[in-house]
Amino acid sequence: MESNSKIYVAGHKGLVGSAIWRNLQSKGYTNLIGRTFAELDLRNQLAVEQFFAAENPEYVILAAARVGGIMANNTYRADFIYDNLMVQNNVIHQAYVNGVKKLLFLGSTCIYPKEAPQPMKEEYLLTGPLEYTNEPYAIAKIAGIKMCESYNIQYGTNFISVMPTNQYGPNDNFDLEKSHVLPALLRKVHLGKLLEVGNFDALREDLGTEDGRQETEDRRQD
């Protein structure tokens, strides 16, 4: 990619997307495109079609997804499979339609079988049953991987998939119900410390927000 290449980072406000955004900026890339959920609902086929036609990005990094921990995955099963399939289908297809030079799709290690041998290898994919609690999310991610593969085979696109392991850091989701284990533990430690020192004003302020942060932007695709 050139420093002025037009790069669309889908999910640029989330944990992984924002880290990628910062990394690209640090390397001198100056033509980055990002849209929040309020600005562009990636589940909306027409909206995504119009966005790609108007912006015509050269490269796409697909980090947008509905994500969450075990409780969220197992409680909102329909939302996880529907939202992620819709986002992936729309972005990947429009990347093909608009001649995107390269697309990077972010998957998840939960795509591998529950009883996969350790250490896990790529060839273990689809060799056994998935972990049931996050099966809808995993199936959606597997579909995204196979969609990229299928478009490459049929249309000669350059769509690649990567499977990051567990992450945590800036712009993570600290919601006590929907977050992953590490951010939930970090927030509980923070809340426990506030309780220990008797800082009830800070405690009330923290518990008055969805996940310990002041912003209330919808996180479904960020």
Q: Within 10 A of 161 (CB to CB), how many other CB atoms are there?
A: 19
Contacts of 146 (CB under 8 A, 6+ apart): none
Which candidate in 124, 137, 151, 155 is catalytic? 137
Q: Within 10 A of 214 (CB to CB), how many other CB atoms are there?
A: 8
pLDDT at 211: 53
What is the band of 208 on the pLDDT scale with cuts at 50, 70, 90?
confident
Condensed to tens digits (0 to 9), the pLDDT of residues 63-90 reads: 999 988 888 899 999 999 999 999 999 9
Please indicate whether residue 167 or residue 110 has the higher confidence score (pLDDT).
110
Highest mean pLDDT out of 123-127, 176-180, 203-207: 123-127
In the numeric block, which tokens belong to residue 66?
């509905």
pLDDT at 103: 98
Contacts of 71 (CB under 8 A, 6+ apart): 177, 178
Asked whether the predicted pLDDT for residue 209 surpasses 90, the reply is no
Give the residue extent of every domain in the chain.
7-162, 174-214
DSSP state at residue 130: P
From the list 41, 160, 146, the residue with the least C-alpha distance to 105 is 160
Averaged pLDDT of the chain:
89
CATH superfamily of 7-162: NAD(P)-binding Rossmann-like Domain (3.40.50.720)
Highest mean pLDDT out of 78-87, 176-185, 196-205, 210-219: 78-87
Q: Is 118 helix (H, G, I), strand (E, B) or coil?
A: coil
| Contact call for residues 53 and 110 (beta carbons, < 8 A) | no
Residue type, 151: Y
> Could you give the percent of the chain with pLDDT greater than 90?
66
Mark whether 137 is an active-site residue: yes
